[in-house]
Amino acid sequence: MQAFITSNKSSLNSGESSTKQTTKKDEKKNKKSIPWVEKYRPHTVDDIVEQNEIVATLKQCLAGADLPHFLFYGPPGSGKTSTIIAAARQLFGDMYKDRILELNASDDRGIQVIRDKVKTFSQVTVSSTRSDGKPCPPYKIIILDEADSMTSAAQAALRRTMEKETKSTRFCLICNYVSCIIQPLTSRCAKYRFKPLSKEMMLNRLKLICKEENVLYEEKSLDVLVDACGGDLRRAITCLQSCARLKGNKSLALEDILEVTGIIPDHYIIMMFEVCRERNFEKIENFVEKLLSEAYCAPQVLEQFLELIISSNDLTDIQKSHICEKIAVCSWRLQDGASEYVQLLDLCYCVINVL
């Protein structure tokens, strides 16, 4: 799970670095190659949806109240980084590039970096007026993205810095699991939990992007995409972009979404269950071979099969628990590199046994 979450984050970072580097080279191309996740980030605090408490707080800060240290936590793709960047943009206007320091897990972030980079940056004081004469808050923001992957030594090194430099610097820690942040840091920050986005919100956003980018789509395909991504807007948008690229000018169909997200069409999973029910050994063997020759990935099969088992109405609880246990065992063995063919067969035979 952890790997998945961080991977998602850093894939975004990769997108960022690529756009940065291409700007230097070729501005024309750049327009095309901006990942949509970057292009459609909310620009102002008002654009942020769903996270009401934090939006209310930030609005007060924009109106002139003091900004505390923040700690944002929540599942990936719920808008943590976007929120703080949008706020910084509004607070500092054009100068926002000089006023924030963004560090994430892909930058080297040991204790040495905290001591040198963060400390020196935080010690610089800044004026309370913008270059155009308008007032702006006299502090800078340091954004520590993916703070849960910082070593605890590095976190400990932050403690004193955070307190000492409050005058000139505010910190914003962003993480997926608040439990990975040491206690002294959490007590110094205002904590906000980010909820996963609701289905309607994601759907609206995706539709908006489709309209802006002239992507044609079928209603149902977006529904599936939203379901598949489960509240992670970034993943949904990345998938949408990949799909649109593959399809060129044609309308996005359901199959394309399934293809890109790697989801197996439902009828295969239902068929798997039906075949087990028939208790025909030969059919099972043929079915498993077919599934693998279609190159579907076995862990995904297990995941979707689990969902089917849990939601099924005609199994008793005991039967369900037996099957779930077997799924767990198979999944563990697959992680160790066991053969997909053998493990799927084992699962199917177990289902027969239980039924």
Interface with another protein (CB under 8 A):
3-4, 6-8, 10-11, 13-14, 17-18, 21-22, 25-26, 29, 32-33, 106, 235, 242, 245-248, 256, 259-260, 262, 281, 285, 292-299, 330, 333-334, 336-343, 345-346, 349-350, 352-353
| Least distance in angstroms from the C-beta of 160 to another protein | 31
Write the burial class of residue 349 (CB in 10 Å: 0-12 exposed, 13-18 middle, 19+ buried).
Answer: middle
**E strand segments, the chain:** 70-73, 100-103, 140-144, 169-175, 190-193
| Other beta carbons within 10 Å of 16 | 17
Residue 129 three-state SS: strand
> Minimum distance from CB of 70 to another protein (Å)?
26
One-character DSSP codes across 41-74: S--SGGG--S-HHHHHHHHHHHHTPPP--EEEE-
Of 25 and 134, which CB lies nearer to another protein in the complex structure?
Answer: 25
Distance CA 243, CA 253 (A): 9
CA distance 9 to 146: 8
Distance of CA 314 to the CA centre of its chain: 35
CB of 65 or CB of 297, closer to another protein: 297
Tokens of 233: 């807007």
What tokens were used for 88?
A: 């910084």
Q: Work out how close the CB of 133 gets to another protein at its nearest, in angstroms, rounded to a whole number.
A: 39
The angle, 0 to 180 degrees and rounded to 10, between the axes of the packed helices 219-229 and 199-212 is 130
**Which residue lies nearer to another protein by CB, 82 or 343?**
343
From CA 245, how far away is CA 198, in angstroms rounded? Answer: 26
Select 13 or 186, whichever has its Cβ closest to another protein: 13
Query: Cβ 205 to another protein, closest distance in Å?
Result: 20
Comparison of 91 and 243: residue with beta carbon closer to another protein: 243
Smallest distance, Å, CB 168 to another protein? 32
Q: In the complex, what is the shortest distance from the CB of residue 331 to another protein, in angstroms, rounded to a whole number?
A: 10
33, 22 Cβ separation under 8 angstroms: yes
- Cβ-based nearer residue to another protein, 90 or 331: 331
Give whichever of 45 and 301 is closer to another protein, judged by the CB atom: 301
Q: What is the DSSP letter of 254?
A: H
> What's the closest the beta carbon of residue 33 comes to another protein, in angstroms?
6
